[in-house]
Chain A
């Protein structure tokens, strides 16, 4: 049950349905946006972390729509990111179109391909769907390796916006931030409205959804298309950020990382994919910094250090599934509830 501060009265349904429904939330969100805007001043050379988080958070938002809200498992999410990245490369280099056109094309192309890949989801469910999407992942990797120049990588030009070349981390950050925020808000709006309700209806009980007039095929393919489209946009951004793309950037391990992000962040949560992407990327980088010093301190530790990332990840996922299946987003909600009610337990 939700707890609201005393004196917070709603006088219209529009107010009651607002995304940020208390003054505290609205102030908090404004502060967060302010902090994100000012981040390059503070982060300095660590700004690349926020850039990486933003790109992968967008991709994770897509998977959260597909898996968290629509209940369709996908092990091929990074394949859509690859398609978005290569589509963007093609449009900017071969067709010579500007970055924004490439971004839009990447989103549209992955939307269409996502819908196609989603078609079998009407017939196959659960683990079998996971296997089918994994096949799509491997096919995509295979196609990339055998058509787009192998593992060596493809060079992508810097994004240019109305003739202005985006070269530094800070410049890219201010290109990414509006897309990141808009993408997050778009998804948050979508899931509180008709489409989100229909997706959740399909996820929780598909036969009841049919009785409510929901066309399962339509909404499952829509979920795939939307999820893929987010991944495609993230892939396009990644291509112009990293400037080099290759099959090794879009492996099944990356797809699994996406799943880790949305599970750790909170499956059916608007904040979940952002929190999860932040957590996973910071953990990756953190372990990269910590491991060498651990090895010098404890030389016997060296043998365990190589798979340390996988070990920590596995332990974290298991721990979360046991203690907080709602993920980080749920932990935040519980913390807020605790603070709201403090010093009383209920």
Chain B
């Protein structure tokens, strides 16, 4: 497969990326693009390399071949923190919050890259540092309102139910005001009600805020309903790409991923 066609409104472009671990090719010559305001789903069986793709985008893994371009900048060799500063935010499959800190502190940590106060201003506190903290607190409270976390504001994350923790992690990523949001199984392990809430948040983020997103999710109903476009992976390779309806009937996908004739 050749490199993705350059599009004027492309936010992220992965060009022929190959990632190998000793004896294992996790990603094999993968190209994909995320367009402005788009919700792109990546699906595939366990071990297909979906999370590895996110890890390449956020800078934890460094592919042996290929390029990653974010808003026309080559970020292939940028460290993870620099990519975050460019506006790439993510959540993790198995929640990477700070369990000992409150919900407020966790979401505020998403504002770190927008804060400026240095050591001296921070130590003196009264003055610029305090004004800055108040300003960012207002943004954090907006996110707490949006995700309906008001009652948990001062709770330590470790005390919270799993579904609530997932919401907090989304909140922390949103606090970064991302230009690209990577969601790694945001609904795994949730109840049906919690899933519905999460789907509502994701849709609102796309419709109202226009944040481009990559969504990895195993719940096919959710993926088919929410995503604008799907990329299907198997053994590190892209085996199909297209609109959800087309993917549902693509024989390669059915064979590789679902293994049966009908799609749930």
Contact = CB atoms under 8 A, between A and B. Distances in A.
A106 interface: no
Interface string B49-91: 0000000001110000000000000000001110011000110
A194 interface: yes
Interface residues of A, number: 35
Contacts of A195: 117-119, 122
A201 interface: yes
A211 B117 contact: no
A211 B80 contact: yes
Nearest to B114: A213
B105 interface: yes
A112 B168 CA distance: 38
Given A13-B137, A207-B96, A194 B112 contact: yes
Contacts of A212: 81, 84, 109-110, 112-113, 172, 176
Contacts, number: 110
B112 A207 contact: no
Interface stretch (B124-132, B202-210, B218-226): B124-132
B196 interface: no
Nearest to B129: A193
B60 A193 contact: no
A187 interface: yes
Nearest to B175: A212
Contacts of A2: 154
A210 B59 contact: yes
A189 B129 contact: yes
A194 B98 contact: no
8 contacts: A13-B137, A193-B129, A194-B129, A197-B108, A200-B101, A204-B100, A211-B80, A215-B79
Interface of B: 58-60, 79-81, 84-85, 89-90, 92, 96-101, 105, 108-110, 112-113, 115-119, 122-125, 129-130, 132-134, 137-138, 141, 154-155, 172, 176
Pick the 4 closest A-B CB pairs, nearest first.
Answer: A213-B113, A189-B125, A213-B84, A186-B123
